[in-house]
Copies of this chain bind each other. A is one copy, B any other.
């Protein structure tokens, strides 16, 4: 059986792996705010359980089994988020923390039922993909809004992080997934982006925000 703590290590491994490919003990230590020796010994345990491939001084790698286990935790988390938003009417900014709790519940049929009620969704409310029942993730390649050029049309399809504060910020601007943004201008010196959308609405977004918005660039010309 995998404990709550172990599930959190798995999630962190999963996230770091997809971001950087290589994951070191140090990375994990930073991500989880747990000292390196602690992480090292947990990785030995994981290695014995066959969840990671680990040799001293070398980067960690999730094994097939570990990847599956991690994917299933993420799956529980994201299914829960979707359920909370779609079936219980929570706002997308509220669900991350609640799901953080529910993801550790040991009751497969509960998550099965959610999945079924939701019609086997492929994405969570923040546009993050939901791993399948094998824990496997299909990667959709998103573009960042920060990569768009003036004149482009951009469809917002996901966000890079689900912090309450970031999502509330987007709520305030009336942003939602599926929204189409026209890139009016990009400031050279700081990378901020001016976008227009809806009925004459216009916003200036910092580069940081623009990097956090994912979607598709619908090139008009070219």
Contact = CB atoms under 8 A, between A and B. Distances in A.
A113 B101 contact: no
A97 B90 CA distance: 26
A151 B90 CA distance: 52
A102 interface: yes
A98 interface: yes
Q: How many copies does the complex hold?
A: 2
Contacts of A114: 88
A89 B113 contact: yes
A95 to B, nearest CB: 10
A94 interface: yes
Interface string A72-95: 000000000000100111100010
17 contacts: A84-B110, A87-B87, A88-B113, A88-B114, A88-B117, A89-B113, A90-B109, A90-B113, A98-B107, A98-B109, A98-B110, A101-B106, A101-B110, A102-B105, A102-B107, A102-B110, A105-B105
